[in-house]
Chain A
């Protein structure tokens, strides 16, 4: 019989408080009318209004969202293909290098990934900007998509595909009408994960960005270095709210299974 004593309860409560307290402080402060954190000047949307007038911040948010959408979509296609190759490709030439390249970016320090991609773009004289950030994020996130989709494919029942093929369904059609619908939740949560990671990334984007392609994290970072600002509290609260809504929607959509798999993989 498992026992769940007061000691365990305390550990859990303290652990969760540690996780949520800073976020709660941030959210509450974003509604503080006073510029000083020390004073509660009453609840207000003042900093949200200031945010709506901050053109540079809005532009950065739009860049970030576009980069995240494009790179997540590209990474989902490539990552799903890579997962298929790893689980079903059998032994092909260069498999070891392939799986090495899939797993290495998961643990590689971001400064190294960023530096090496920048040096590539410089070596081939590619102008840095929106597309270089998108390429960099695709490279980073496709590995995460692969791991999520792979975890689904490992438990996949191949006999369904075989049945379709036996009945004369061509391979491509089998893939789109049998395989893809079955692994769909994993593919969707892989896309979400890639989207979130791309929105999150500061270090790699800082290396490979160029004029006119300031992403939201780069923008926030340049403000935050100078200290705490109420406007930043507001934009962080909006991002937290978006993430929360996205996660709830996703867990309803995929009936939790896929979303939980990807939550686990992100860590």
Chain B
């Protein structure tokens, strides 16, 4: 088909929008992260002056300072915050895999005519607001909430336990919020699995548990990888869940960034935190992108 003005617009309009509101802002973040730390008030030095030509550019580049990065590296608080985020993301991804796998497996084994409805049921709660879902857990976990009442009624505890503002609550909130992100890729992989392979294993005298670990799990590996990445990346930058369910010591990197920005109003440091976080996540993001590209080609 000839490239008419229609196809040119279809490229140019979204391209221009994304360049203006996605790419340009990100370059500004990089620039401000290299600006001299100054509290709150823009414009940040150095200011690039296009009228001064090459001299202006040289002055601009000479004026950039790695101070913000140095202060991130020097302060163990930031390092701890990154490590804590990665740890919480890692542990919750493992938990999600442990809980999500049996559910995805059962979904894939459910009678065909019910599968569509069941998948819909798994996904449905996730059309409601993220905030509502986290808030729903606050209802249950609060001091006189349902969980404490149930545990007291069962005589497992005699005093209400504070569940909110603990790391347990954060893990619970994360596992709940990211559940379908893990179940759906796993289901997609398990659903494609050819049942005759398991029959073959059984015919050859392989016990079911062994067939599960030597046939089912390896064949569902693409789903495991996709689910894990789909959960791990956004969990690392999570803000709402640790802020509402965690305590002041939870301090994941999303919270630290938020605090640096809104609380301390140190924009250069907040920007530097964002750049480092993105650098940490770039490897898995590239991997996801390549997977998506491959899947799109296959589709």
Contact = CB atoms under 8 A, between A and B. Distances in A.
Given A82-B14, A98-B18, A220-B132, 17 more contacts: A2-B195, A11-B102, A14-B103, A18-B99, A25-B136, A26-B139, A81-B10, A82-B15, A89-B7, A101-B22, A107-B281, A109-B278, A200-B130, A225-B244, A240-B132, A243-B128, A264-B184
B188 to A, nearest CB: 9
B74 interface: no
Interface in A209-267: 217, 220-221, 224-225, 227-228, 232-233, 236, 239-240, 243-244, 247, 256, 260, 263-264, 266-267
Contacts of B123: 263-264, 266-267
A256 B123 CA distance: 14
A89 B127 CA distance: 32
A90 B7 CA distance: 10
Which of B18, B103, B183, B234 is packed against the most chain A CB atoms within 10 Å? Answer: B18
B130 A202 contact: yes
B234 A38 contact: no
Interface string B241-267: 001100000000010011001000001
A110 B144 contact: no
A62 B114 CA distance: 39
A104 B285 contact: yes
22 contacts: A2-B109, A4-B106, A4-B110, A15-B103, A15-B122, A16-B121, A18-B99, A22-B137, A26-B139, A38-B144, A82-B10, A102-B18, A103-B292, A107-B285, A109-B254, A111-B239, A111-B274, A112-B237, A116-B274, A155-B299, A220-B131, A220-B135
Given A18-B176, A107-B234, A236-B136, A171 B6 contact: yes
Given A107-B285, A111-B254, A116-B25, A23 B128 contact: yes
Given A116-B25, A243-B127, A36 B144 contact: yes
A29 B128 contact: no
B234 A142 contact: no
Contact of B271 (A2, A119, A135, A256): A119
Interface of B is mostly: helix
A199 B129 contact: yes
A228 B22 contact: no
A228 B32 contact: no
B9 interface: yes
Given A82-B10, A105-B22, A203 B131 contact: no
B180 interface: yes
B154 interface: no
B124 A247 contact: yes
Given A116-B274, A266-B127, A81 B14 contact: yes
Nearest to B28: A119
A228 B139 CA distance: 6
B73 interface: no
A151 B297 CA distance: 11
Interface residues of B, number: 95
Contact of B140 (A16, A22, A260): A22
Interface in A84-126: 84-85, 88-90, 92, 94, 97-98, 100-105, 107-112, 115-117, 119-120, 122-123
Given A94-B15, A109-B277, A120 B122 contact: no
A245 B130 CA distance: 18
Contacts of A3: 109
Contact of B277 (A36, A112, A267): A112
Interface in B1-31: 1, 3-4, 6-7, 9-11, 13-15, 17-19, 21-26, 28-29
